[in-house]
Amino acid sequence: MNIFYRLNNLVLIVVASSSMYACALVKPSPETLNQNIEKWLAHNEFDKINDSIKSLNKKDTKYQSVFDKTAAIDSKKNIFIEKTSVSAKQLILENEWQLALDTYNDALNKINNEPRLSIEKNNLILERDNQVTALRKELLINQANALISYKKTYEKLSKLIPHDYSAQFDIRSYDNNRLKVAGHLEMCGEQAVKNKNFNLANECYSLSNKLDPDESKKILISQIQNDLKATSNSKRYSELLKAYETAYIHHQYNLAQKHLKELLTINPSHTKANNLLQTLNSEIKELTLNKINQGKDLYSKKKIKEALELWKHALELEPENKELQLLISRAEKVTRKIQSLEKNQ
């Protein structure tokens, strides 16, 4: 009897499953499918429409009226995507971040994995999370600064009324809060170091150390400040080398020289800057010498004005050049004499 009962149940299950499978294979008529599509379109349920059309045989002319609708369906889908995007972005402008996220989620439930909406949703989550992180850090730092400002007050209070129960309760509450915030700041510092955000790491560890002084924190702060200085210097080196290159390309040799000298003031042992300056100084000397000789040639040909102009340009390259100073002085005296003679004639 028991075996018969089990066999009977098994037969019923198989029959039911077969019936369900058979029902699933039965496609709706074109009229029914068209009605369903209109109903789904009214609710923007594009996945249902897409799945239904995909299940059809494209060679089955019976469903031609359904296939003819695909262009119109795609157009409505694109309009729906655009409206969703515009609505969500407007909600973000109004600072309604959750409503914007809900808008994207509702749309993606109807068009699963739609690329544009998926990307916009992910960007929204990323931006929101970044803002939340920044706000939490701001709150933590503000809380730490407030606790630091109370520290001396509680210390004085403890000395004034050391046996007052109410005061001691407040002091213990303050100490618990102080240590808790110091711990959070230490975690903030650790994460900032991992992210190579040394400014934030320095701020978090410094505040933590003020709330709960510790020698290991002082060592970390010193290391971070060294890293900050190195990073700052490295950035400044890059800026000055780039400024040197720009000046050099435009033949502004004195300006190029100035940038290299500034870099070497910060770091006298900077190999690249030393080599560049040495090469530049040699070039300037060569250019100056060429201009001196060209000027002398012009001077010997009585072209004093041209020689003087050339020497003055050379003096801009080497302001301390004694020979140039003498040549210019002599040429200027001769020029004045010539002008005087011309006036008297």
Type of residue found at 150: Y
Helix (H) or strand (E) holding 200: helix 198-211
Q: What is the pLDDT of residue 26?
A: 65
Q: What is the pLDDT of residue 3?
A: 52
Q: Is residue 143 situated within a structural domain?
A: no
Q: What is the pLDDT of residue 15?
A: 43
**What does the pLDDT look like over 137-146, one tens digit per residue?**
999 999 999 9
Q: Which residues contact 116 (CB under 8 A, 6 or more apart)?
A: 81, 85
Q: Is residue 330 situated within a structural domain?
A: yes
Q: Is residue 328 situated within a structural domain?
A: yes
Q: Is the pLDDT of residue 24 over 50?
A: no
Question: Taking residues 177-196, what's their average pLDDT?
Answer: 93
SS3 295: helix
**What does the pLDDT look like over 237-253, one tens digit per residue?**
999 999 999 999 999 99
Q: Is residue 312 situated within a structural domain?
A: yes
Q: Is residue 339 situated within a structural domain?
A: yes
**What does the pLDDT look like over 218-235, one tens digit per residue?**
999 999 999 888 888 999
Q: What is the pLDDT of residue 260?
A: 96
Q: Is residue 259 situated within a structural domain?
A: no
Q: Is the pLDDT of residue 13 over 60?
A: no
Q: Is the pLDDT of residue 117 over 90?
A: yes
Q: Is residue 113 situated within a structural domain?
A: no
Whether residue 201 contacts residue 192, with contact meaning beta carbons closer than 8 Å, is answered with yes
Q: What is the pLDDT of residue 23?
A: 41
pLDDT band of 58, cuts 50, 70, 90: confident
> Cα–Cα distance between 172 and 192 in angstroms, integer?
30
Of 261-270, 290-299, 335-344, the least confident = 335-344
Q: How many domains does the chain have?
A: 1
Type of residue found at 4: F
> Cα–Cα distance between 26 and 325 in angstroms, integer?
105
Domain region containing 301: 282-344
> Cα–Cα distance between 145 and 208 in angstroms, integer?
10
Whether residue 141 contacts residue 203, with contact meaning beta carbons closer than 8 Å, is answered with yes
Q: Is residue 45 situated within a structural domain?
A: no
pLDDT band of 338, cuts 50, 70, 90: confident
Distance, CA of 189 to chain centre: 20
**What does the pLDDT look like over 321-331, one tens digit per residue?**
999 999 999 99
